Structure formats: structure tokens, C-alpha cells
Amino acid sequence: MINFDLSVPDHSYFFGFVQADGWMWEGKGNKGTLSIELNRRDRWILERFSDLVPVSSTIRERTRSTNFKQTAHSVVWSLFDMEFRRHLKCLGFRPGLKPTLGVPSGIVPVDYLRGLIDADGSVGITATGLPFICLTTTSDTIADFFLNFIREATNRKPVVRRNSRDSIYNIMITREDAQALISKIYYDKALALPRKVKKAAEAMLWKRPEGQQRITRKTWTPEEDTIVLTHDTQISSEMLNRTCQSIKMRFWRLNSRKKT
């Protein structure tokens, strides 16, 4: 019996991390492996994974040449147990199919997201001095999950599309909204990469400069969209307490979606 439960915060974190940055190879018979390879500076988190999962695993270091660095030092965590690999697949882990990754049921959202961000995202201060949190993913399901989490935490849901260069989602939130997310995702004593915990703490120290006004935008609800589509501009403006210009823009966007 595998003692691995996604309702346990650390297990949710592990699943998000390995889903984003791990790979599984399956050979004939019982052969196969689940592995994560990281920069040597992140060895600590792989040692925690070795303690966390209920079967034996190995950690080894290696040096190789890459496109970015002539001598790259990395550390590889490998697990060979067939029963545990099967258990992960039952929970929703899909080997090699990153674009179709789904969000498993029963996970703890903040811990699962922290695992994804530690593996395939970033957090900290931008080059222009703004706090930010970012997640990169090829999965529609994971992108929607993160966007819905943003909406619950900030009452705002940004509109994000795949970029044209490599067809991925790059969801980035800044300023107070980023701090609201960071405070939930990187909570005290949560399992996480130490260097990202440090960056998260730096982001939480930011304060909006005095006199700099915060721009707030209301999120459109399905009920409001119905009013925009079924009433004229002036009536919609009065009913929704929005400007006529915003009503016209929303009407145009809704009709543009219908045509595409």
C-alpha cells in the first residue's frame, strides 16, 4: 500500500513539482524510472523528496555541456519503484505529455501551485523593481487553474493567451496582486526551494511609492455580459455602474469572440 495522499500539503507540492519538471521513462516489464534533474544548488529539495516519498530512491551528481554552459553541474533524483510510478499515474501524472497535463482532484491548491512555480515559474522582484509571481505552462487546464486561483485571491482574472513564439502560457502578476498570491502560496514553513522562499520574502517587502495611484479594474461576470448583450449602452452603464466607453468595449469584445 503506497502512503502518498494529495490531501497532504507536502505531497501536493511534490506532485506539482514533478508534474512540471520531472520525467518518467517506462521500459519493458517492470523497468522504468521517475527522475528530476536540477541545478546542483537545488540539491536540498531533492533530498527532501527522497525523505518524503515512501520508497527508496537515489541522488547523483553529474557534469555535462549544454547549449547555455560549457560545464553544467546538476543533480539527479531517480526513483525506480514500479508500484509508486503506477500510483502517480493513477493520480493523473502523464509521462511525456506536457501540453495535456491536468490538475488532479484532491490536491491542496496553494501547495500544488507552489510546486509548479518552483519547478516552472518564478517569483521575486522585476528589473524595474516590482514584485511579481509567474507561471509558465503549456497546459490549458493548469493555466485555467492558476487564473481561477488569481481571481479568488485578487478578484481579478487577467486575460492570457499562448505566446506566438513557442505557444506557451506565461502568466505573470505584479504589484499588490502578486503580493496577495505570494502570501498565500509561500506561507511560513512551507516546503519550497530555499532560493525562491528568499525571493518571495523580498517581494513582500515592496510598498507602492507614495502618490502612485493604484488602478483597479472590475472583473466581468457572465451575468454582466448578458446585460451588455441584451441592453443598450446607456441602460447597461446605469445598471452596472460602469462607463459607457467600457460598455462599448465589452460589447465589441464579446461579439468578436462570437465571430472567432
pLDDT digits (tens, 9 = 90+) for 71-103: 789 999 999 999 999 999 999 887 765 656 789
Q: Is pTM beyond 0.75 here?
A: yes
Query: 147 and 171 in contact (C-beta within 8 Å)?
Result: yes
Residue 57's pLDDT is: 95
Q: In Å, how far are 10, 111, 137, 138, 234 from 99, measured between CA atoms?
A: 24, 21, 8, 5, 43
pLDDT level of residue 221 (50, 70, 90 thresholds): confident
Q: Which residue has the higher pLDDT, 190 or 30?
A: 190
Backbone angles phi, psi at 195, to 5 degrees: -70, -30
pLDDT level of residue 215 (50, 70, 90 thresholds): low
Q: Which residue has the higher pLDDT, 11 or 164?
A: 11
Enumerate the β-bridge partners of residue 38: 75
Q: What is the pLDDT of residues 121-160, one digit of tens each?
A: 999 999 999 999 999 999 999 999 999 999 999 988 777 8
Domains annotated for the chain, with CATH where assigned, are: 9-97 (3.10.28), 114-204 (3.10.28.10), 222-259 (no CATH)
Question: Vertex 104, ends 101 and 108: CA angle to 5°?
Answer: 125
Q: Which residue has the higher pLDDT, 204 or 258?
A: 204
Query: 87 and 4 in contact (C-beta within 8 Å)?
Result: yes
Say which range, 4-13, 195-204, 206-215, has the weakest mean pLDDT.
206-215
250, pLDDT greater than 60: yes
